A and B are shown apart, each in its own frame.
Chain A
Amino acid sequence: MDWIRKYWWLAGLLLALALALLSPLASPHPDGLERVAEDQGFIDRAQNPPFQVIADYLFPGVENEAVATVLAGLTGTLILFALGSGLALLLRRRGNEPTLDR
């Protein structure tokens, strides 16, 4: 269990990636805002995005919808791990504590 104490962040990242694997099971119903927009008749005001990268959480070029969703989820999860850690590394307090070189 020592590795999990030391590398707990890896366990956390794996847990997040595992959640992404579950994404095809997500409820397909409209969310709260979409529901209100449909009921109150302003859903048509929504504009199409000017560009699409991984629109609708479907990885482009993948036929199988569940696989495309999972790939989109894994991609986003890894990007956010990198972005969150990167921001933290960039902004962390320095100077008054020993820093771990990595």
Chain B
Amino acid sequence: MHIPDGFINTGTSVVTWVASAGGLSYAVRRVNQELGERQVPLMGVSAAFIFAAQMLNFTVVGGTSGHLLGGALAAILLGPWAGMLVMTSVLAVQALLFQDGGLLALGPNVFNMAVIGVIVGWLTYEGLRRLLGDRAWGQVAAGFAAGWLSVVVASLVAAIELALSGTSPFGVVLPAMGAVHALIGIGEGLITVAVLLFLRAARPDLLELRQVSSQA
């Protein structure tokens, strides 16, 4: 879902750059108040893992592929604020070093995947966990829904930006982006759940770091 330069007009780019900068500066302040010592390596590992996993495209249908975005996963592991910073780091390195996603388009890409994707993943996961309690299947359902919805909503926001830029009409690009990302989101949900179950079995304390640190 990395938008190259040329798809988004200057006005839409500026708006998303400003919105992203606002979100990120708030995120920096929150991380500054909340991030505990033990979360330092978790932030590094999350950024590394999400970058590597994003390279692994999987085929969905009709000669189309998708890959993990990781916004929901980052939010679940680190909370939304550190999660936003991790996703922004990944997107910035991809744009500057790997020419994946445009430079002007880094604004929309950060807004879609690091701000919207993380917030939607976070709200979905927290809401469902509260509803379903601390059971394993509750975590599975919440993780899957968070992954799926974060991708679908991010793709719809990207579609709105494309339409506002005059690149493709609303009525065309909105359903097209939504449909293909409803499929890609299944992969996102499955990978998110797999990582959560792995951590639940191997290092459940890492899943609790966030709660512990926000209570401290």
Contact = CB atoms under 8 A, between A and B. Distances in A.
Contacts of B20: none
Interface stretch (B33-41, B122-130, B133-141): B33-41
Interface residues of A, number: 62
Interface in A55-102: 55-57, 69, 72-73, 76-89, 91-93, 96-100
Interface in A2-60: 8-9, 12-13, 15-17, 19-20, 22-23, 25-33, 35-37, 39-40, 42, 45-47, 49-50, 52-57
Q: Taking chain B's interface residues, is the majority helix, strand, or loop, or is none over half, making it mixed?
A: helix
A31 B66 contact: yes
A76 B47 contact: no
A39 B57 contact: no
A24 to B, nearest CB: 10
Interface residues of B, number: 73
Contact of B2 (A20, A33, A73): A33
Nearest to A21: B52
Nearest to A24: B55
A73 B48 CA distance: 10
A31 B65 contact: yes
A57 B100 CA distance: 8
B177 A36 contact: yes
B16 interface: no
Max count, chain A CB within 10 A of own CB: residue among B64, B180, B183: B64
A29 B64 contact: yes
Interface of B: 1-7, 28, 31-37, 39-53, 55-60, 62-67, 82, 85-86, 89-90, 93-94, 96-100, 102-103, 155, 158, 162, 167-168, 172-173, 176-177, 180-181, 183-184, 203, 206, 213, 216
